[in-house]
Amino acid sequence: MTCILVLNAGSSSIKFAAFRTCVDDALELLQQGQLDGIGSAPRLQAHDAAGHSLIDRALDNRSVPDAAAAETLVNDWIATHLGATPDAVGHRVVHGGVDFSQPVRVDAAILDRLAALNPLAPLHQPFNLAPIRSLLQRQPQLPQVACFDTAFHHGHAPEIDLYALPQSLIAAGVRRYGFHGLSYEYIASRLPGVAPALARGRTVVAHLGNGASLCALQGGRSVDSTMGFSALEGLVMGTRPGNLDPGVVLYLAQEQGLDAGQISHLLYHDCGLKGLSGLSGDMRELLASDAPLARLALDVFAHRVAQSVAAMAASMGGLDGLVFTAGIGEHAPGARAAIVQRLGLFGARLDAVANAGRTGVLDIAAPDSRIALRVVPTNEELMIAQHTLGLLRS
């Protein structure tokens, strides 16, 4: 048996999952959990493969003041409760830049190259790399694999990924990369089994969560995505604005007197659904609210998604289906309905009864819908574990 540990570290949370190999190297979940609220109201939760709770405990903020303390606590808890020693650790790393188009085993030199990409994803990359660096110091013999959210989008046509900027800036790395690639790669691997026609055809996958994007998937490959240089571009998100006239940033600096740090905080933390509604960036709270601004935020969100579906279809020369995934995509029927309602151009028709289903793979298209409409749960942790096992075996 081989045991694979997966870590997905962010600024305020660490998600983890442990898998073991079974027949033909298929991976079986052992346990999964997260430590969130780091630095504010930390809480450690974990469950086994059957969904039974292993721990659900609020922690003293003084014991988990920062990401480094959280990483130590999570590793200690896993070591005590896993019942097996990990043979390798796989990590989600947001940015692989132009060089890393495949998962890679990390050593000190690779870690330095990945750290050089920190300016391209300042709110994600440093936190993704922190547990890798810590484990390299404590257990240098333990194989670690970096799996990139950008890798799945490598191979786009130049007209898809280039901004109309001077070549000197493009050479410096200012271009579109695309993100959520591990989620899209997992969906691409699932479609042949649940919707073979979509796997062969022109499909838009909507990864809708607190962070949100679309991917144009043609024959199982990414040909376009709404996210570009950073995780700010594209759709309206929980706390991020999505597409924004660059003149707004100039106005914030020149007229409002905001510095770079203040603008960054505003765009990453105070915009999107939260900014529009004045209530929350959580889709569940907005759907449950009858406040006019909550409805406005939902309308803007749905409009931007539908508008961007059309843009992705243009990149593929047509549209055969739309797949919803991630937190909102999988669990918010009201949001799915608001989006599909705006896709009459493609002959999209929703089956309201099927759409009311809240879990698992769903076919939510009405019989007269001209395009397929599906819900397919994503599993980024399993995708990372598969990549890690593949590199370990090779």
- Copy the structure tokens of residue 79: 């070591």
Residue written as token pair 């570290």: 9
Write the CA distances from 155 to 16, 100, 120, 218, 309, integer angstroms. Answer: 30, 12, 19, 13, 20
| Residue 195 CB contacts under 8 Å (≥ 6 apart), including other chains | 321, 323, 372, 374, 376
Cα torsion through 222, 28, 124, 114, rounded to 10: -80
d(CA 309, CA 316) in angstroms, rounded, equals 11
The catalytic residue among 87, 107, 149, 224 is 149
With a CB cutoff of 8 Å and minimum separation 6, the contacts of 51 are none
SS3 for 13-54, per residue? EEEEEEEEECHHHCEEEEEEEEEECCCCCCEEEEEECCCCEE
Annotation marks residue 161 as catalytic? no
* Bridge-based pairing state of the strands 3-9 and 88-93: parallel
Which residue numbers are catalytic? 149
